Amino acid sequence: METYKTFYIQYKDKLFAYLMRLTGDYQLSGDTMQESFTRLLSHYGPNEQSAALLFKIARNAVMDNARKTHHSCSTEDCREDENHNPEAMVLVRETYRAVLAAMQQLDKTERDILSLAAGGEFSYRDIADIVGISEANVRVRIHRARMNLRKKLQSGKDDR
């Protein structure tokens, strides 16, 4: 069980960051993160420590939740770390919110694939396995998603 604890510590922040990029909802991301680890442990046991499987479970949980409810939440409720420089935190939060808002404008497939790639944890082959498409298709979709995200971020700057 100690190795599972190490696995949890190693991947909890990475999974949470992926879920935040995917959903834009702090509370839902936290709940889904915990549920994903619980499902992995209960269905596969403490010896199964596959990051790809964990992220696939989390992705499926987000999809299940989206099917059940059209839960949309703003990132305004996200918790703040008061130990940082307040001015720097404002800039980080503004940038983070802008990127999350732009990602929420992407289509679900683009957002999903880009969220997996953004963490840097998975190769294109791993992403292809998680999403269920070819590696070549992943490359193309990531490129298109990045271009679309860049356009949305740029149009957001032009609106100010």
pLDDT at 84: 46
Looking at the fold, whether 44 and 93 belong to one and the same domain comes out as no
> In angstroms, rounded to a whole number, what is the distance separating the alpha carbons of residues 25 and 75?
6
Which tokens in the block code for residue 83? 């130990």
Categorize the per-residue pLDDT at 120 as very low, low, confident or very high, splitting at 50, 70 and 90.
confident
> In angstroms, rounded to a whole number, what is the distance separating the alpha carbons of residues 57 and 148?
27
Looking at the fold, whether 57 and 18 belong to one and the same domain comes out as yes
Looking at the fold, whether 19 and 87 belong to one and the same domain comes out as no
How many CA atoms lie within 13 Å of 57's alpha carbon, on the beta-carbon side? 23
DSSP letter assigned to residue 46: T
pLDDT at 80: 40
Domain boundary among 18, 38, 71: 71
Q: Is the pTM of this model over 0.75?
A: no
Residues 145-155 have pLDDT tens digits of 999 988 988 88
Residues 28-86 have pLDDT tens digits of 999 999 999 999 999 998 888 899 999 999 999 988 888 887 544 444 443 444 344 56
> In angstroms, rounded to a whole number, what is the distance separating the alpha carbons of residues 156 and 42?
43
Mean pLDDT of 111-125: 87
Using CA of residue 78, residue 83, residue 87, residue 91, what is the dihedral sign? negative
Looking at the fold, whether 98 and 37 belong to one and the same domain comes out as no
Total domains in the fold of the chain: 2
Q: List the domain range (segments joined by +) for residue 54.
A: 1-71
Looking at the fold, whether 92 and 64 belong to one and the same domain comes out as no
Residue 56 counted as domain residue: yes
Q: Which residue has the higher pLDDT, 95 or 90?
A: 95
pLDDT at 21: 84
CATH of residue 99: 1.10.10.10
Looking at the fold, whether 100 and 60 belong to one and the same domain comes out as no
Mean pLDDT of 79-98: 62
Looking at the fold, whether 109 and 130 belong to one and the same domain comes out as yes
Looking at the fold, whether 25 and 94 belong to one and the same domain comes out as no
Looking at the fold, whether 92 and 153 belong to one and the same domain comes out as yes
Looking at the fold, whether 88 and 42 belong to one and the same domain comes out as no
